[in-house]
Structure 1
Amino acid sequence: MRRMLAHISLIICMIALLSCEEQGKSYPSEGKVSIAYLQSLATERSMKITQDIYIEGCVVANDKLFEIEKALVIADDSGGMELKIDEEYINDIVPLFSHVRLRCSGLNIGREGAKLVIGAPPTGEYVVDRIASEEIFNYLTFTSNNPTAPTSATIDINDLDSRSVLRYARFEDMVLSRTEHGAKWCDMNEENEYRSTVRHFIHDSDTLRVVTSGGCYYASELIPTTECTLIGIIDWYEEDYALRITSHQVLH
């Protein structure tokens, strides 16, 4: 039922965005725009941006602890998007919580489920290709020399919808489901390698899915069972919303 409601919410949001476009809403052809504006443009599987526009935001997820790989997430007050980069150690060149400006002209945007992605024009089956590491600073510049974490939004589990995806958020007073006590963040596959795994945290009677990449540094750690605050990005994983913790922010 929850997955069905998530799909319905996504469809309603897309119809609303298209409706605004059809009513002749004026869009900028150059200058600074919001991530929400880019989301309104992404009505095709993949679309090249021709306007001379840019966004500014904070890097709220990257591969510092390998919670995600070959990508970083930029968020502003209106939403978030995933920037694909062909680089093994992105945090070495774009540290977590860097404040950046991304020039969008010449890049492609599209959607992976409910997730807005941006990168190089696609050459194959993917929505966008990864930007070559040596080319990333043709598009990305720093707007501050001091990486600082933005304020995370407090979101109610029941309020998660397509507008929440890739936002930087916190969930307070969370407790691991009793059925998962004693579990690690990730399970192992048949090759004895850790794989991406979903765990379930409870607040009152509501359940939050939390997904962890098998490649992250703490995949093998036991999950604490005491009440905690979880901070990260809202991801779209296996056709539903899930929190992806960033920088191992599990606060007690």
Structure 2
Amino acid sequence: MSENSTAPRSAEAHDHRDRGARLFPGGPSADPAGSHHERRIRSFRPRRGRVTPGQEQALRRLWPQWGLDIDGLHRIDLGRLFGDPEMPVVLEIGFGMGEATAQMAAADPGTGILAADVHTPGQGNLLALAERNGLTNIRVANGDAIILLREMLAPSSLAGLRVYFPDPWPKKRHHKRRLIQPEFVALAATRLRPGALLHCATDWEPYAEQMLEVLSASPDFENTQPDGGYAPRPDFRPLTKFEGQGLDKGHVVHDLLFRRRTD
């Protein structure tokens, strides 16, 4: 399932392109931070995929206004980015085609959603959804979320972090590529305000177990569940069609809700 994954299942359609090239003038870059030079195991592979005419139009028109490349070269002023210095901002890593992101933005217009992914069709689709539904509280970030957190976001600047259905990397030799690792959680903690919510969801049981183990061991977070286990799906996380299909097949979805400690 994993429809919001930041890691692809198939080979890139545009691997022959220059790494720094833009698919559309003024649009997202192929590799904005030159991350292929960074010696780090990544939880994703940059991907383009087939872009529909509607997605292309959205990228051409809306990227200069609502999109940004994760180049790692500057610090983002979130208040300026969203046009409201008082607006709380939640980072969502991996949004797939953006349907759930758009639903959450519509349900909570007072919260900004900085949605990061590397999937060009999904970026175009989310921009189109935002325009169609008048959602001015969405910004789309293109590139490596680690670089975004580490280089471009200020400490304690985020009101929340969402990681829904990341690639489970099911093969044992690939487990090191999973996003939810102690190093990532420690980095995320520095960018979350005290009391901010870190919300993960996965339909892959072994990954859910790893998430629970890693988050429970972190000194920076506390489980919102008194029993120290998984949480019921909160109302603010939409049930997507992909998730519904998985549930029909007997998949079990686990939500994990951990809060940044205030002490």
Where relative contact order (Cα < 8 A, 6+ residues apart) is larger, the structure is: 2
> Is the TM value for this pair above 0.5?
no
Pick the structure with more helix per residue: 2
Q: TM-score, normalised by structure 1?
A: 0.29
